Structure 1
Amino acid sequence: FSPQTVTENFAGVIHGLNASHLTDLAIQRSKRMILDTLGVGLLGTSTSVFHKVIQYSKIYSSDVSSTVWGRSDFRLPPLYAAFVNGVAVHSMDFDDTWHPATHPSGAVLPVLIAASEVLPQKQKLSGLDLLLAFNVGIEVQGRLMRFSKEASNIPKRFHPPAVVGTMGSAAAAAKLLALDQFKCKEALAIAASYAGAPMANAATQTKPLHIGNAARHGLEAACLASLGLQGNKQILDMESGLGAFYTDYTPQILPTLQSYSWLLDQQDVAIKRFPAHLGTHWVADAVSSLRKHLVQGEDSVPISRIKQIVVKVPDVRYVNSPFPEPSHSFQFAACTALLDGSISVQSFSDQSISRPVLKELLSKTKLEHPSDNKPSFENLYCEVNITLQDGNVFSERCDTFYGHWRKPLSTEDLKKKFHSNASSVLSLEAAEGIVETVDNLEKVEDCSVLSAFLRGAQLTKILSKIRLP
Structure 2
Amino acid sequence: MTMAARGETETAASLTDRFLDAIFAAPVTEDAVMVAGLLVADALAVAVAAHRAKGPRLLLALEGDASGPCPVIGLGRNLPARAAARVNGALIHVLDYEPMWNPANHAISTTLPGLLALAFVGEYSDEAILTALIRGIEAQARLRRASRQFEPGDLVMHPPGVVGPLGSSVACATLLGLDRAQMAMALGISASRAGTILANVGSMTKALHCGGASGAGLEAAELAAMGFTANRLALDGPRGYLRAFFGAACDEAALYEPAPLHVTSPGPAWKLNPAQYGTHFAISAGLDLHAEMKARGLTVADLRDIRITSPHMPYIDRPVPASGLDSKFSLQFAAAVALLDGGISIATYSQEQLQRPELQAVLQKVRLTFDPTRPGRFDQMRLSLQAEFSDGSLLEAECTQPEGSWGRPIPVARLESKIEDCLAQAFPPAGVATLLPRLMALGEVTAEAPRRIPALVEALAKAEV
Q: What TM-score do you get using the length of structure 1 for normalisation?
A: 0.89
Question: What secondary structure sits across from 2:398 in the alignment?
Answer: strand
Distance 1:3 1:350, change over 3 A: closer
Structure 2 counterpart SS, 1:396? strand
Supply the distance in 2 between the matched residues of 1:145 and 1:445 (Cα, whole angstroms). 33
1:333 aligns with 2:334: yes
* Residue equivalent to 1:380: 381
1:27 deviates by 1.8
Matched, 1:48 2:45: no
- Structure 1 match to 2:267: 268
CA drift of 1:451 comes to: 2.6
CA distance in 1, matches of 2:454, 2:153: 36
- Counterpart of 1:445? 450
- 1:245 corresponds in structure 2 to 245
Contact 1:279 1:377 in 2 (8 A): yes
Q: Which residue of 1 aligns with 2:31?
A: 25
Q: Counterpart of 1:286?
A: 285
Given the alignment, which residue of 60, 68, 74 partners 2:72? 68
- Give matches, 1:260-409, under 5 Å: 261-296=260-295, 301-303=299-301, 305-324=302-321, 325-409=326-410
Tell me which residue corresponds to 2:418.
417
3-state SS in 1 of match to 2:220: helix
Secondary structure, aligned partner of 2:237: coil
Q: Report deviation, 1:390.
A: 2.3
How far residue 429 of structure 1 moved from its aligned partner, in angstroms, is: 5.0
Q: 1:157-180 deviations in whole A, cap 9, x for unaligned?
A: 311000111111000000011001
Correspondence for 1:6 among 5, 12, 15: 15
The offset of 1:434, in angstroms, is 3.6
CA offsets, 1:58-92, max 9 Å, x none? 3545xx421111244x3100101111000001111
Whether the aligned pair in 1 keeps the contact of 2:151 and 2:375 (CA below 8 Å) is no
Moved more, 237-246 or 40-49: 237-246
Give secondary structure in 2 for the equivalent of 1:294: helix
Match in the other structure for 1:461: none
Alpha carbons 1:280, 1:329 under 8 Å: kept? yes
Contact 2:386 2:395 survives alignment (8 Å):
yes
Amino acid at match of 2:115: L
Letter in 1 for 2:311: P
Question: 1:213 and 1:6, CA in 2 relative to 1: closer, same or farther beyond 3 A?
Answer: same
Question: Could you tell me how far apart the structure 2 residues matched to 1:436 and 1:242 are?
Answer: 38
Q: Cα RMSD over matched residues?
A: 2.3
**Secondary structure at 1:236's aligned position in 2?**
coil
Q: 1:149 to 1:345 in 2, by over 3 A?
A: same
Q: Which amino acid aligns with 1:41?
A: A
Give me the whole-angstrom Cα distance separating, in 1, the residues matched to 2:259 and 2:274. 34
Cα 1:365–1:454 change in 2 (3 A) is same
Could you tell me how far apart the structure 2 residues matched to 1:155 and 1:34 are?
30
Look up the SS of the partner of 2:267 in the other structure: coil
Cα gap change, 1:385/1:267 in structure 2, threshold over 3 Å: closer, same or farther? Answer: same
Alignment partner for residue 90 of structure 2, among 82, 87, 90? 87
| 203 and 267 in structure 1: CA distance in 2 versus 1, 3 angstrom threshold | same
Other structure's SS at 1:295 match: helix
Distance 2:457 2:387 in 1: 49
- Deviation of residue 12 (structure 1)? 4.4
**Structure 2 equivalent of residue 196 of structure 1:** 195
Q: Distance in 1 between matches of 2:212 and 2:154?
A: 19
SS at match of 1:118: coil
Paired with 1:358 and 1:300, the residues of 2 have a C-alpha distance of 16
CA distance 1:338–1:149, change in 2 (3 Å)? same
Q: Determine helix, strand or coil for the equivalent of 1:292.
A: helix
Give, in whole Å, the separation in 2 of the partners of 1:133 and 1:85.
Answer: 18
1:462 equivalent in structure 2: none
Q: Is the 8 A contact 2:12 2:233 kept in 1?
A: no
> % of aligned pairs identical?
29
Tell me the SS of whatever aligns to 2:397: strand
Structure 2 residue 223 is the aligned partner of structure 1 residue 219: no
SS of corresponding position for 1:395? strand
Equivalent residue pairs, number: 443
Once the two structures are TM-superposed, the CA of residue 438 in structure 1 deviates from its matched residue by 1.0
User: Which residue of the partner structure matches residue 163 of structure 2?
Assistant: 164
Question: How many angstroms apart in 2 are the aligned matches of 1:381 and 1:253?
Answer: 26
> CA separation of 1:269/1:280 partners in 2, compared to 1, >3 Å: closer, same or farther?
same
* SS of the residue 1:265 aligns to: coil
Q: 1:133, 1:344 → 2: CA distance?
A: 32
Paired amino acid for 2:420: H
In the alignment, the residues of structure 2 paired with residue 374 and residue 316 of structure 1 have an alpha-carbon distance, to the nearest angstrom, of 10
For 1:417 and 1:249, locate their aligned partners in 2 and report how far apart those are by CA, in whole Å.
38
Contact 1:108 1:138 in 2 (8 A): yes
Distance 1:434 1:54, change over 3 A: farther
**Structure 2 match to 1:463:** none
* Aligned residue identity for 2:392: G
Is the 8 Å Cα contact of residues 36 and 271 (structure 1) preserved in structure 2?
no
SS of match in other structure, 2:275 = coil
The range that moved more, 365-374 or 190-199, is 365-374
| Cα pair 1:125 1:448 within 8 Å, conserved | no
Task: Find the aligned partners of 1:428 and 1:381 in 2 and give their Cα distance.
Answer: 37
| Alignment check: 8 A CA contact 1:111 1:215 kept | yes
Work out the CA distance in 2 between the residues paired with 1:155 and 1:430: 45
Residues 434 and 238 of structure 1: is their aligned pair in 2 closer, same or farther, counting only changes over 3 Å? Answer: farther
Structure 1 portions without partners, runs of 5+ = 459-469
**Separation (CA, whole Å) in 2 of partners of 1:255 and 1:186:** 18
**Structure 1 partner of 2:99:** 96
- CA deviations over 1:363-392 (Å, ceiling 9, x no partner): 111101123212211111110011122221
CA contact (8 A) 1:60 1:77 kept: yes
By how many angstroms is 1:93 displaced?
1.1
Contact 1:434 1:453 in 2 (8 A): no
Unaligned runs of 5+ in 2: 1-10
Q: 2-side partners of 1:345 and 1:250: how far apart?
A: 39
Work out which of the residue numbers 38, 49, 60 in structure 1 matches 2:44. 38
8 A contact 2:41–2:440 mirrored in 1: no
Aligned letter for 2:210?
A: I
Question: How many angstroms does 1:111 deviate by?
Answer: 1.0
CA distance in 1 between partners of 2:69 and 2:114 (Å): 13
